[in-house]
Structure 1
Amino acid sequence: MPIVRLIDGINEVVGRIVSVVALIFAAIIIYDVFMRYVLGQPTRWAFDVTKQLYGFYFVMLGGYALRHQSHVRVDLLTARMGPGLRRWVEIAGYLIFFFPFAWIFARRSWDFAMTSWNQGELTYGAVQLPVYPLKMSMFAAACLLLIQGISEVLKLALNRADHLEPRDVG
């Protein structure tokens, strides 16, 4: 189904691009440790920058993780169900729990980001960084998570058996 491929593709691309951020904040941490302990000249900006990069990294990978079924799941009941019943229980779970949560996350993060933008919010650290880009990424992440949920429900509704099988994440 084209819409499923499009949504999955968007989250796949975003996930792969955002994964590079881990390398960036690791490099900054290594640089800061080197400057602090080897040269005795700690940076004033590294802690704040890595904190924001990690927040961005963490929140932006939600849709990617859902696409790859990497979220924590408790399958105590559904593991013993047949594929048909399991599929309907999972669809009901998306409708009752996931979509209301994702909608509230999107709505509240939009308000949160716009308040930060309008106030020109800055961090309190030694180097004052703008906070609104991180808060705007929360809204983008909520939208990515929401559309990935739509993709997952469509896969379930279209009887895609591969969606129900646990994936090897190791």
Structure 2
Amino acid sequence: MIRIIDGLSEAVGRVVSLLSGVFAAIIIYDVFMRYVMRAPTPWAFDLTKMIFGFYFIMLGGYALRHQAHVKVDLLTSVMAPRTRRWTEILGYLIFFLPFSFVFMLYSWQFGLRSLAQGEVTYGAVQLPVYPLKLAMGVAACLLFLQGIAEMLKLIVGHEDRRHADEVA
């Protein structure tokens, strides 16, 4: 189960990271059109905001898999390994999993409401917003699943592998 969830997070992270090239190309195109051709694009600003939002939210599970989230480990850094492991397990059970579960439920409701309304951006060009809002639900599911995998790693004693990933 851990390998499946880690593999899913890894695959999504690698595919989504490819969007950074698309994101950069749109920005370069828009800057070129605006300042060199004196013909700004009416769609590029909204589209780059949406792509950045998608990029940012979809990489949450990947970041958790690679221990790239911000941690306040002032207390756990001085704990014995066994105490640290159980403190982290409790942290996942008490804080992370309930929060990510609620985030998942509300994100799906948010995205489905946007889809039902056919929500679009306002302005000269109306781009659909619901794909980004539905992506929030997908991202929340991936984050929740990766949280389960990280907690299972702690339970079965894979914390050495987790810390080895940090160094690599």
Q: Which amino acid counterpart does residue 10 of structure 1 have in structure 2?
A: L
Output the aligned Cα RMSD: 1.2
Q: Which of residues 57, 60, 82 in structure 2 aligns to 1:84?
A: 82
Distance 1:84 1:44 in 2: 56
- The yes-or-no answer on 1:167 pairing with 2:166 is yes
- Judge conservation of contact 2:66–2:165 (CA < 8 Å) in 1: no
Aligned to 1:71: 69
Unaligned stretches of 5+ in structure 2?
A: none
Distance 2:123 2:21 in 1: 23
- The yes-or-no answer on 1:31 pairing with 2:52 is no
Aligned to 2:94: 96
Distance 2:163 2:8 in 1: 21
TM-score by structure 2 length? Answer: 0.96
User: Any runs of at least 4 consecutive aligned residues in structure 1 with deviations exceeding 4 A, and if so which?
Assistant: none
Deviations 1:47-89 (A, max 9, x none): 0111110000000000000000000001100001111110000
Helix, strand or coil at the partner of 1:167 = helix
**Aligned positions, number:** 167
Unaligned stretches of 5+ in structure 1?
A: none
- Judge conservation of contact 1:113–1:135 (CA < 8 Å) in 2: yes
TM-score by structure 1 length? Answer: 0.95
Q: Percent identity?
A: 61
Question: Counterparts of 1:144-159 in structure 2 under 5 Å?
Answer: 144-159=142-157
